Chain A
């Protein structure tokens, strides 16, 4: 058998001569380094293990210098980046655990399984920390929905997410879906999971205690997903379709059993270290666990449960078969651990031992088939400081006057057009396929600014959202990065919560291109500054590069996943208007800023100029003021102004509340600009007539600009700008336009 394998797999000399390492994404200089670490040429298994450990996906070799720019600590942060997921204190010995991760490349070639296993993977990251997953979110990007291939990807990504999340019984409560040409052929599928944990239950992925046994948990290993991490670190080409085997297949039922068994195991207190097998499977989990403990690890590959016959060491180490975990206990606790997995009907096998020699040693068929220093695998991957260059488009955009477009006078028609844009329109077609209510704690369902999940036994809740406007980031990465964090914070605050921290998913094109690296660098700077000013540190995340194909790179899309704390469920606020007669207030300043706006794209058909500017100090003051007003019980509804500006925000509050509004907006801007400008740091509030005065005084006393713009009334949305009638439309009609877009396109 072993000869059969070696006949198929090249030997160390052939790997060197034929430069086979290059097919695995290892460069000549990296290969030389690896030879140096080993003191010899690596065999096929070893070069495979190095190639995945040194891929962008595992080693962040192109992004690490940027990631260091993020603030990652704060008084509430219990665990920052580096483990499966970050953890933030929420009081009462409780903490929230969350992380976002991409599955872009797999979803581009096999949308159902790509998306499903993305969900499965992020759930494992959460429960491997010892936390009970309580909610899922998804941030999705596709090309134009009119395109048949896009429809196929969209439909199957959504059902893959539904198939996994619904079955495992974790509610999918929020997220976003955006359609834009830049994602054509390169969809983004970022999945986020949020969990709850008691402080004393927090786990780490460490292989502690020399001589302790290492256990494998979950279904047998097959040949699926081999080299998935490397695949995710390349550009998509026509050959990507042929790499379909690199996509794993998910089994949410199995993960449910693995999750329940692992949480029960962790509850016993006997676990010394536990980690999921995600990207690079057995390789990454074993090497990282050994590294974090400063130990070595021996793996006996004959003991690895196998789904297929004749699997080689290489295949077992690189397989990304799903729903698998690795954990360490003391020998005396073995039987107790085994009993739990037996009861849950989950395979658990002793596959290794913790050693003190700092090496990852692999045994197969009685031979040593791999012997590598753990530190070389985990810490010694070269980190590249890529050259960066200002792209020509950015220079050109400086001169673009975004107010030069001919005035649009049919503002009702323009509003309908923007509401009917698939990115703005109702996403009920998507989230109705997700079980967003299981676990009975979803207080704010998908469709409002942020979702809110209550915490049983307390009056607290968790608000959560994902946000990123790729157009803004493209037009000015630094400002766009600030906006992404600020918009997330605004959504959290509008739901009645205090922003806690973020997890980020940096989706970009190829870092080899200086213009792309410039986008990365600038947007990270913008995000980092926003995180500092808004007191929302980065507690973890994921980087997905090489999101480009023959047609070019995606818009730089650093998705922000934010979680906030609702101190009392009485503070929970939604975007819909609540009662006839309520007063409507607009907070913040409206300037003539159409660059990168939905109006500019939908009505004028271009994305150009500079995006809206954002002053973080102003933003912070706005957020504190609105949260204070909500906590004082002065606010009936709150809605952040984003895509589509004031007109869309008013329409959404009317639609969600099933009520009309009469608005007199005092502005010297041209009416179309006033209504559709996407100036930042603006929030729409409504309050009962009795509270309105108090609310307005409260806002004024905090120095935040506020204008009383109208009241909730009737069945139409009636807007006057600068004293002149701008639009008058029945809310029912706007609702139909907004609701029908996606279902009609998907018929």
Chain B
């Protein structure tokens, strides 16, 4: 399984995502520049955190116009796996690949600390290794992580099981304590907490590992069933 970690000017969790793939599942992974126009070689695209384009104008608002984003949309359309973390989540909502938007934290301050998340949907390709309702410790580090969507969208999210993670103690004012969601099809996931920072107990938690093992398993299952056919 081949991973791409996108690099926008100002991405700063790109290295962490790269290391997390290496350390948790050891699958091949490349940094892919924001100007790239071909993602066909990759099975999973990680859109990392950071301050792409300095978060100037609005988080993710400039990145969505980067050439690589058209390729991300194409990959999502082909059913490939896409995971946006923190700034990556913001970029995916700006690009229209995920519904809703991220507003400033209710405290109006940047917040960095561990949070406890509840796995709301363990049927998603990124979460199959978790138990339903499992509580996991994953850190946050953001100033604009307050998820918002209108009521109709919220109803849709609930109906389609698109809410993947919820905060046990809401740190930012997100609607319905939402920490992470998927698209309707389930192959594109966005979340504010950083699973790539939770893959080593020496650094505080390794509860994020299962996201990487889950996606590898999902890909293998799909790949094997495809080759059997």
Contacts and interface: CB of A to CB of B under 8 A. Distances in A.
B139 interface: yes
Contacts of A438: 12-13, 16, 49, 141, 197
Given A434-B112, A456-B19, A441 B54 contact: no
A285 interface: no
B110 to A, nearest CB: 5
B112 A167 contact: no
A434 B49 CA distance: 15
B15 to A, nearest CB: 7
Contacts of A294: none
B42 interface: no
Contacts of B207: none
B112 A442 contact: no
B126 interface: no
A345 B12 contact: no
A203 interface: no
A253 B202 contact: no
Interface residues of B, number: 31
Nearest to A572: B202
A61 B51 CA distance: 41
Interface string B8-43: 011011011001100000000000000000000000
Nearest to A435: B141
A443 B16 CA distance: 14
Nearest to B112: A435
B139 A437 contact: yes
Contacts of A432: 109, 111-113
Contacts of B10: 167, 253, 256-257
Given A166-B51, A438-B13, A433 B197 contact: no
A435 B50 CA distance: 11
B202 A443 contact: yes
B94 interface: no
B197 A168 contact: no
A611 interface: no
A252 interface: yes
Contacts of A257: 9-10
A437 B9 contact: no
B200 interface: yes
A685 B110 CA distance: 35
B67 interface: no
B203 A441 contact: yes
Interface string B96-140: 000000000000011111000000000000000000000000010
A443 B54 contact: no
Q: For the complex, would chain B's binding face be called helix, strand, loop or mixed by DSSP majority? A: mixed
B79 interface: no
Contacts of A436: 112
Contacts of B13: 169, 438
B7 to A, nearest CB: 10
Contact of B204 (A162, A445, A572): A445
Contacts of A344: 9
Contacts of B202: 443, 454, 569, 572
Contacts of B176: none
B109 A433 contact: yes
B55 to A, nearest CB: 7
A440 interface: yes
Contacts of B196: 440
A433 B110 contact: yes
Contacts of B110: 159, 162, 166, 433-435
Nearest to B194: A437
A345 B111 CA distance: 30
Contacts of A64: none
A252 B110 CA distance: 16
Nearest to B54: A253
Interface centre among A432, A438, A440 (most CB of B within 10 A): A440
A457 to B, nearest CB: 10
A113 B194 CA distance: 29
A351 B109 CA distance: 41
Interface of A: 159, 162, 166-169, 251-254, 256-257, 344-345, 428, 431-443, 445, 454, 456, 569, 572
Listed from nearest, the 6 A-B pairs whose CB atoms lie closest are A169-B12, A253-B54, A167-B51, A435-B141, A440-B16, A433-B110
Given A437-B204, A438-B197, A440-B16, 19 more contacts: A166-B51, A166-B141, A167-B51, A167-B55, A253-B53, A254-B54, A256-B12, A257-B9, A431-B112, A435-B110, A435-B112, A437-B141, A438-B141, A439-B15, A440-B203, A441-B203, A442-B203, A454-B202, A569-B202
19 contacts: A159-B109, A166-B51, A167-B12, A169-B12, A169-B50, A169-B51, A253-B54, A428-B113, A431-B112, A433-B112, A435-B110, A437-B194, A438-B13, A438-B16, A440-B203, A442-B203, A443-B203, A445-B204, A456-B19
